[in-house]
Amino acid sequence: MSNPTPTHLEPDRFAYSALLDAMPDAVVMVDHDGHIVEFNARAQGMFGYTREEVLGESVEVLIPERFRDGHAGQRDRYAKAPFVRPMGAGVELFALRKTGIQFPVEINLAPFQSPRGPLVVTVIRDVSDRKSHSG
């Protein structure tokens, strides 16, 4: 029996998921169409969705309705020139829990080339505690 040499190496799925779940922040990976392809354990706790509930859904499900219309255009602009950067520099950002509660967040973006094509790694930090103690 011969093993054909793969043209690319798929990461071990269990190790890959375990690595994402070990991250100290919520990690949401999104494809070029804005669909969620990864959703780690911290993201599940932060947003209240199970991984299965959001995989394949539009990332806009995690964004308050008042910001959704402009978000697709922002995603398209980022896709044309992706680089590691904070999202919304100088702007307060908010996310939306499954319960409908909005909360302030910091978001960092990074491009990632996967075997499936280009993805955006979104690292999200809930800053509610910081906001309630400032000012």
DSSP-H helix ranges across the chain? 13-22, 41-47, 51-54, 65-80, 128-133
Architecture of domain 13-133: 2-Layer Sandwich (3.30)
**Sign of the dihedral through C-alpha 51, 53, 59, 65:** negative
Parse the chain into domains and list their residue ranges: 13-133
pTM: 0.84
Q: How far apart are CA 24 and CA 57, in angstroms?
A: 23
Instruction: Report CA torsion sign: 21, 22, 28, 29.
Output: negative
pLDDT in tens, 73-95: 888 888 888 889 888 777 899 99
Q: Rounded mean pLDDT of 61-76?
A: 91
